[in-house]
Amino acid sequence: MKYENDFELAAAYVPHLRYDKAEPFALQGIGYTIYHETAKSPSCRRVIEIPEGKTAIEYAFYYDFDIQHLYDLEHSFVYLDGEGNVTGVESSFHGKFLNSMIEGVLEFDDSHPVLYVQPGKHAFLPSQEYFQLYIERDAACNEKAGLDGFLIMPMFEDRFSADEEMNRKVKEYIRRNYSFVPAWEFMPESPDGRKEEEMLMPYRELDGLIAERLLDWIEKIKGVTEMEGEHETNRI
């Protein structure tokens, strides 16, 4: 099947996500990159190897928060043959990339792979049952919420920095505002009701959006925590 442009191609195969009923974080954008030949990813530490005549689509999913830190970028890769058939699906899981195209497990919604989103953490798996393998699946969302503070990935190290005080403020902000207990019931609706196709943009646009949103969140968290500190002082 032929598509008029890269956006139409990306929209035709973008994974459809399934969210926990209690998920507090809405997806903010999906950046896509199309590969027709082997190349380095612009958004993660991977070289995407493409056999001749094949295509891969990288999807980078951005959330303002992981339940344990500020900033969260997850990934899925969909591989196509020359006829447009899906031949492979890979997805991110806590710093690793796993095969999600497991026969009899991975579901499809028309041409869209269906991926389940780990509550709060947003790692992707092809079946909700697989989350039982993750020992801290519940603890991560409540008593360990905010654990990592402001997690700065290598691609943003030249644009952001966080000292111990900022990490403390982020940790407190997440724990106070977003700690939750997962329901472990998954829904096709996203937390804010938007569909994946509405969130698509070239990755270079998403990169700019991430930087803008992180700057806004840094200022917001600083302002909130400073205001709360003043209130505490006034009570003494």
* pLDDT at residue number 168: 95
Structure tokens at 157: 């190290």
CB burial of residue 162 (10 Å; 0-12, 13-18, 19+): middle
Domain of residue 115: give its range: 6-235
Residue 1 lies in a domain: no
Distance (Å, whole) CA 139 – CA 146 = 11
Residue 17 lies in a domain: yes
Residue 78 lies in a domain: yes
Distance (Å, whole) CA 155 – CA 210 = 11
Residue 77 lies in a domain: yes
Residue 186 lies in a domain: yes
Contact 17, 198 (CB under 8 A): no
Block mean pLDDT (10 aa), the chain, length 236: 90 98 98 97 94 96 97 97 97 96 98 98 98 96 96 81 91 97 97 97 97 95 68 39
- pTM of the entire predicted model: 0.93
* pLDDT at residue number 234: 39
How many residues are given for the chain? 236
* pLDDT at residue number 233: 34
Number of domains making up the chain: 1
Residue 40 lies in a domain: yes
Residue 226 lies in a domain: yes
